Structure 1
């Protein structure tokens, strides 16, 4: 996994360019050495472009709570998923910043949605086609920065004009309980979803590691599926992450600006 030092990319344009192009090419990057406090995630967003505003604000403060209103604020396991698939324009890029880690458990889990989708197409082409052709209603409602009731219908796999996988949308906890499809398609759809879940959780398809205080991970939200292992949430063992989002428009713009500033070619981007 491409790994960089936080201070380096904040002060060195050439290293920032390497970081952004690593994110573009691999879909996943690691930053080490950020201050283990609130705020650096905002500075990173401003260094690249700007953070994407959502119903949670510019930054989500994800702390384990005894009386949570959302599964993310518990110590329970979170399955692999895409963030905010219930948005018509979901964020392209997710940023995690670890401020405080739990005493045990809480390992982050990642899987490459493009790789696993290609495996499904090879091993079970019928299931793959169902997940390309069948829209799923993703839904979320609540009260954070504002009251919200977001909903969007989209397939699990989206292909580009050349038939290549361009986006993956998967989030079991945000799938609507109602299916808008003929009844005879319900069982094949659930069977296809189950086939994909079994494949993405194969040990060879997942990466597991504990974020340490000061660590950041920056990854493509519509490619890299993410989750976490369970941990004990107590008042004395609080786990605290900050989360923010970016879009490719800002990242590609910064790549072009940096390449121009560094007298490098940029016309292919």
Structure 2
């Protein structure tokens, strides 16, 4: 959409586009956004100007629009240019900022399971890969098939999402073990939970590569944390507010002499009060650290949330066979598993990609595909 006019109004500039959209930009914001040789590029980390070098309300000497570009000459003869497309993508009004926020598809037990997509296709086709990335962004997960079961593939696959994250587990070998490290190493049912919630920044995107599946049991389950928040807010809004405010406490001590302990709300909100993530695993939850009154409020609020989860009426369940993969947002979805035959050789390998690495890959892919939403605002997930 073409930028057609710009008008100076005190210490702001009113930009107008041909479809009637009008937007105000403060002059201090415009000067901060300048990418001329004198100012440098903040996106490359080579900006020369300090913000304190600018006056609080920079004064414009001249302003014009030519060829969908806003041109400004400042009081000190410094010249700046701003593409209309870039300004449109960075509107500061409530409506403009809202347009940059992806709207997640919130789902419950009635979700129709998406199709499995061939790994070779998403690994070699930009648009198929972008479709998978957007599925993870919007729905919280994606399903892949036609994956070789060689163990080396587990290390290669994360590259289609972003750079692999190294955790204390490395590539975790999830199978029934005589001496289990975690509950997942037992053949028992796992109730829905998020992984490594005892970290300030839990693993973002989790990849389950199924090498061998059990003929009996071993079905995967997923629950949308945003749906849990939505439903709890409808049925018990006080409980939701409490779980957004009073921090839970999660801890884990590992055999190699490492001790994690974090306090963070179960539901994470961004600066606008929008819920962006969930962290919850009652197997790793320590007694809450709060005043007696807040302690009682916390447990009273937690109970209805757990009741919804344990009732399984917001849960989808499906089986992932050998050569298939489940990729999901660990900051948004709770995952679980049904019990399986302990005598089977069921083997799942688990790797992770940080949430910001996933967001990076998504932005780059959008730009390469010529999409105009690469400037979208992506939330902080469940980061403390």
TM-score scaled by length of structure 2: 0.65
Paired residue for 1:229? 338
The 5-angstrom pairing of residues 168-207 of structure 1 reads 168-176=278-286, 178-207=287-316
Q: Report deviation, 1:248.
A: 2.7
Q: 2:229 pairs with 100, 111, 117, which one?
A: 117
Mark the CA change 1:47 to 1:267 in structure 2 (over 3 Å): closer, same or farther.
Answer: closer
Q: Report deviation, 1:170.
A: 0.6
Paired residue for 1:249? 356
Mark the CA change 1:187 to 1:264 in structure 2 (over 3 Å): closer, same or farther.
Answer: closer
Q: What secondary structure is seen at the aligned counterpart in 1 of 2:165?
A: coil
Question: 2: distance between equivalents of 1:196 and 1:242?
Answer: 30
Query: Does structure 1 conserve the Cα–Cα contact (< 8 Å) formed by 2:289 and 2:295?
Result: no
Q: Deviations over 1:222-266 (max 9, x none)?
A: 1101111112312xx121101111123222222233333333334
Query: Does structure 2 conserve the Cα–Cα contact (< 8 Å) formed by 1:55 and 1:148?
Result: no
Question: 2: distance between equivalents of 1:267 and 1:228?
Answer: 35
Bigger radius of gyration, 1 or 2?
Answer: 2
Show structure 1 runs of 5+ residues with no match.
Answer: none
Paired residue for 1:164? 274
Q: What secondary structure is seen at the aligned counterpart in 2 of 1:180?
A: coil
User: Is residue 2:204 matched to residue 1:92?
Assistant: yes
Query: Does structure 1 conserve the Cα–Cα contact (< 8 Å) formed by 2:208 and 2:326?
Result: yes
User: Is residue 2:256 matched to residue 1:151?
Assistant: no
User: Is residue 2:187 matched to residue 1:75?
Assistant: yes
Paired residue for 1:32? 145
Computed over aligned residues only, the root mean square deviation of the Cα atoms, in angstroms, reads 1.7
Q: Deviations over 1:63-105 (max 9, x none)?
A: 1112313211001111111111111111121111111111211
Aligned length: 263
Question: 1: distance between equivalents of 2:195 and 2:129?
Answer: 25
More helix by share: 1
TM-score scaled by length of structure 1: 0.91
Q: 1:135 pairs with 235, 239, 247, which one?
A: 247
Q: What secondary structure is seen at the aligned counterpart in 1 of 2:164?
A: coil
Q: Report deviation, 1:108.
A: 0.9
Paired residue for 1:51? 164
Query: Does structure 2 conserve the Cα–Cα contact (< 8 Å) formed by 1:2 and 1:28?
Result: no
The 5-angstrom pairing of residues 2-41 of structure 1 reads 2-3=114-115, 4-41=117-154
